[in-house]
Amino acid sequence: MATFDEWLDAYDIVYRTLPASSDLQCPNCSNRTLRLVFTGPPGSGYGYASFWCDSCMEGIHLSRAPIPEGAAARSLDASAEERSRGVPNYRLVT
């Protein structure tokens, strides 16, 4: 199982590829199915990041992450249902 640090390294790489999508391998299962979703107050440039793998359903959660220019971010004002759309209930690595 990948450690939190390994997930953080993967996050860093995927983050730097934004707003393009990355085909980086998952640090846990090696599938290229990593997903990254930001949620934050509109226009703040900061929010929390949900980063997970659609194959093994593991990932990490980061708060106060800078949201890069051009990256899609969900509004904190949106309903819980809207905010979590497409974000599975994955296992958090801590």
Residues that bind Zn ion (CB under 5 A): 26, 28-29, 53, 55-56
CB of 31 to Zn ion, least distance (A): 5
CB of 86 to Zn ion, least distance (A): 17
| Distance in angstroms (rounded) separating the CA atoms of residues 14 and 36 | 8
> Between residues 9 and 75, which has the closer beta carbon with respect to Zn ion?
9
> Between residues 2 and 73, which has the closer beta carbon with respect to Zn ion?
2
Q: Which of 69, 76, 75 is nearest to 45 (CA)?
A: 69
The identity of residue 67, as a single letter, is I
Please answer whether residues 55 and 81 qualify as being in contact, where contact means their C-beta atoms are separated by less than 8 angstroms.
no
CB of 76 to Zn ion, least distance (A): 27
Computed on alpha carbons and rounded to an integer, the radius of gyration of the chain in Å comes to: 13
> Between residues 58 and 74, which has the closer beta carbon with respect to Zn ion?
58
